[in-house]
């Protein structure tokens, strides 16, 4: 988890410089807005008035943010290490893989 958190500033710099295209600037802004919403004292559904229901919007944003952060940092770290998914060549049509068994 520490490696993922340390990757976040590098990922932001790489997206802003255009070196990393696996994450759009719009999605990055949405992630930063999610962090801002969670730490902000201003809520769409205030906890003081709605008690547990007021926490629901925060929980949903934190859940989305955590899942997105895990996926995006995983993809970014793979990109940094050069192990990003690369499609394997497909066999030619009509080619059948098999083992020859001698008689």
> How confident is residue 10, by pLDDT bands cut at 50, 70 and 90?
very high
Contact 73, 8 (CB under 8 A): yes
pLDDT tens digit string along 45-57? 666 666 777 777 8
Percent with pLDDT over 90 in the chain: 39
Q: 87 is written with which tokens? A: 């499609």
**Domain ranges (residues) in the chain:** 8-81
20-25 long-range contacts (CB < 8 A, ≥24 apart) are 20/76, 20/79, 22/72, 22/75, 22/76, 22/79, 22/84, 23/72, 23/75, 23/76
Percent with pLDDT over 70 in the chain: 70
C-alpha span between 90 and 12 (Å, rounded): 35
User: Cα–Cα distances in Å, from 52 out to 18, 35, 49, 66?
Assistant: 42, 20, 9, 21
> How confident is residue 86, by pLDDT bands cut at 50, 70 and 90?
low
In the prediction, which pLDDT does 82 show? Answer: 86
pLDDT tens digit string along 11-36? 999 999 989 988 999 999 999 999 98
Q: Over the chain, what is the mean pLDDT?
A: 81
Q: What share of the chain is helix, strand, coil (3-state, %, to 5)?
A: 65, 0, 35
pTM above 0.75, yes or no: no
């Amino acid at each position: 988890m520490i490696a993922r958190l340390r990757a976040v500033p590098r990922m932001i710099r790489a997206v802003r410089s255009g070196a990393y295209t696996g994450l759009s600037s719009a999605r990055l802004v949405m992630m930063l807005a999610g962090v801002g919403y969670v730490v902000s004292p201003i809520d769409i559904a205030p906890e003081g008035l709605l008690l547990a229901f007021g926490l629901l919007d925060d929980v949903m944003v934190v859940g989305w943010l955590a899942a997105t952060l895990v996926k995006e940092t995983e993809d970014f770290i793979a990109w940094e290490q050069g192990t990003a998914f690369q499609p394997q060549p497909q066999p030619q049509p009509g080619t059948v893989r098999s083992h020859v068994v001698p008689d």
